[in-house]
Structure 1
Amino acid sequence: MDKFSDMAMFVSIVKHQGLAAAGRDLGLSPATMTARLQALEERYGVKLLNRNTRHVSLTDSGELYYKACIEILDNVTEVENIIQNGVKEVKGSLKIVAPKDIGKQYILPILNEFSELYPDVVPYLYLNDQITNIAESGMDIVVRYGELADSSLISRRLSPSRRVLCASPEYLAKHGTPLEPQDLVSHDCLAMLRNDEELKTWHFQENDKKRAITVVPKRFSDDGEVIRRWALEGAGIALKSILDVQADINNQRLVTVLNGYMKNFTTSMSVSSADLNVVYISKKYQPKRIRLFLDFLFDRFNDLVEKSEIKRG
């Protein structure tokens, strides 16, 4: 088989997390998939995948090969579109993942506008609060909060943000308003789950003084939108991004508390630690549809943020 077909096969294996599922997608038997993967590894003299009966994972060499395959296949698709339809034609898939609150309130309306302008671009919008391996996710664009550790990826700030503690007026009237972080221990708190980790240690800073408070949550969810809804229903106090809850605060559905403190799920208290970022894999030849959407996203997001009256301080 040619190298291009092998690249497509390898990307499919990573995407489907297994040879059998990838084989069904490609119309190939498990035996054929195994033989082709073995031949590919023998050709380069390296192991590309760690395999067991349940899943596959990339080796260091496999991750390099996978990233190169994604870039080459995207470039070929882009060139084919140009040849077949002309330079002005914009078409193909656009895969975006974002937290649910941000995805529904901001990304979805922007994507709807973009789709009207470029109807031949097929959007895939994944709403997910979990942090995954971006390089292996198959996503074109990842919208996420916080700082980025992987230097092989490009991260651009979409909007400044910060964490706030918030609750409904009804909850505060019934249970009282916390005046310092330690008071949270006796309150009903709503905590996030991230990759099965309970984010119940909340970090605070006032001037140069830092402290960590381990709350006793009454409810957990891995979905930020659920946490926000519980807060609106009066179930407790939530630690949220201001971008998620500004409209609720403006309409007095939620009230912020402990406003004199910087807050976060982690020990990081840098100004950028809670910002909203757009992350994507560095590519020399970024497909035109992705470049256009990135420009459109940054332009329109600023408008939506201004309309929602996000407070910077």
Structure 2
Amino acid sequence: MDSAASMRFFISLCQKRSLSATALEMDITPSAATKKLASIEDQMGVKLINRTTRKISLTPEGEIYLSYAQKLVSDMDLMQEAIRNQSSNPAGQLNIHAPLGFGRKYIAPLVSEFSDLHPDLAVRLTLSDKHVLPPDDAVDILIRFGELPDSRLIARKIAPNRRFICASPKYLDQFGRPETPNDLLNHKAIALRQNDETANLWRLSKGNDVHSIRVPVKLSSNDGQVALQWAIDGHGLVMRAQWDLAKHIREGALELVLEDYETPAADIYAVYQQKARLATRTALFLDHLESSFLTQTTSTDYW
């Protein structure tokens, strides 16, 4: 019998002043009630109740036990109520880390929406393209792209996302449109350097046909928007994620090449700590993320 249940039983017994009445209230047999009282007294190591054939009364130790039990049970009830209120009206602070460009364009607006839905919750959004460690006490949710480096991490796939190679029509009209991965060797590339990745090594595959091409780099940057703008300006080919390209493809500022070839996965994941139960604020934001991106990936934001 756990301590909380023991205290609730004892409080009921003191109120009813009858083992049989307490047994009836708790839907147990009188003999089970007698055993519960004996178990509590054994645990405390003292006699708590004086029993006669006509009535029961508290020993001095029983008075002390009752006094503390009432306070502790009251505090537990208040705690449970606070947790229930938190579940419906989450408070506290939620810490989110996301890539700079993606976070600015997509995560920040979702945080704004989420804040309107839960006004008592504070959110700290950190945007950076620097490599960060898996979530800890300082980061509740880490947004990242591509396959996870550690299978022990807990991650939730928020949305599918592909990388594509593209260039401006101006560049392609001047230098030609690559038809095979090896044609990339005759082109100028714009490299995005992040997290010490090999920026000029582009991997493409179609079925069992796999290519790793070291593209000739003309310009490089650690800022995705800068690299994208250079491509729009006609300086070369760039490999970028679908979410970043969609608007420019639809407007005709960029054109896809080698579209039939797959590039390394860039699916969007939310990584978080492994816990028996997520904090309500974390679970709610994960649900908000997933439902929002489900809407976006079926809208004109993607092609």
- TM-score bracket, normalised by the shorter chain, equals 0.5 to 0.7
Amino acid at match of 1:290: T
Paired residue total: 225
Amino acid at match of 2:168: S
SS in 2 for 1:307: coil
Amino acid at match of 1:93: Q
CA drift at 1:112:
1.1
Partner of 2:268: 276
Partner of 2:241: 241
Partner of 2:27: none
Amino acid at match of 2:132: T
CA drift at 1:137:
8.0
Closer, same or farther: CA 137–148 of 1 in aligned 2, 3 Å: farther
Larger radius of gyration: 2
Q: Is the 8 A contact 1:204 1:212 kept in 2?
A: yes
CA drift at 1:238:
0.8
Amino acid at match of 1:208: N
Q: Is the 8 A contact 2:135 2:271 kept in 1?
A: no
Q: TM-score, normalised by structure 2?
A: 0.67
Distance 2:125 2:188 in 1: 33
Q: Is the 8 A contact 1:246 1:309 kept in 2?
A: yes
Partner of 2:294: 302
CA drift at 1:89:
3.2
Distance 1:246 1:81 in 2: 47
Distance 1:173 1:128 in 2: 36
Q: Is the 8 A contact 2:156 2:271 kept in 1?
A: yes
Equivalence map 1:1-313=2 (5 Å): 82=82, 88-136=88-136, 138-264=138-264, 273-311=265-303
Distance 1:299 1:242 in 2: 18
Partner of 1:29: none
Q: TM-score, normalised by structure 1?
A: 0.65
Distance 1:119 1:136 in 2: 24
Amino acid at match of 1:300: S
Unmatched tracts of structure 1, length 5 or more: 1-78, 265-272
Amino acid at match of 2:219: R
Distance 2:81 2:224 in 1: 38
Q: Is the 8 A contact 1:82 1:89 kept in 2?
A: no
CA drift at 1:157:
1.2
Unmatched tracts of structure 2, length 5 or more: 1-78
CA drift at 1:90:
1.7
Q: Is the 8 A contact 1:81 1:89 kept in 2?
A: no
Q: Which moved more, 1:84-93 or 1:277-286?
A: 84-93
Distance 1:154 1:147 in 2: 12
Q: Deviations over 1:49-102 (max 9, x none)?
A: xxxxxxxxxxxxxxxxxxxxxxxxxxxxxx799379765432222221222332
Q: Deviations over 1:130-166 (max 9, x none)?
A: 3321145832111111111323321111111222101
CA drift at 1:194:
2.6
SS in 2 for 1:195: coil
Amino acid at match of 1:188: K
Amino acid at match of 1:184: L
Q: Is the 8 A contact 1:164 1:259 kept in 2?
A: yes
Closer, same or farther: CA 163–88 of 1 in aligned 2, 3 Å: closer
SS in 1 for 2:82: helix
Distance 1:211 1:90 in 2: 49
Distance 1:148 1:301 in 2: 19
Closer, same or farther: CA 129–137 of 1 in aligned 2, 3 Å: farther
Distance 2:182 2:87 in 1: 60
Distance 2:80 2:222 in 1: 40
Distance 2:87 2:277 in 1: 14
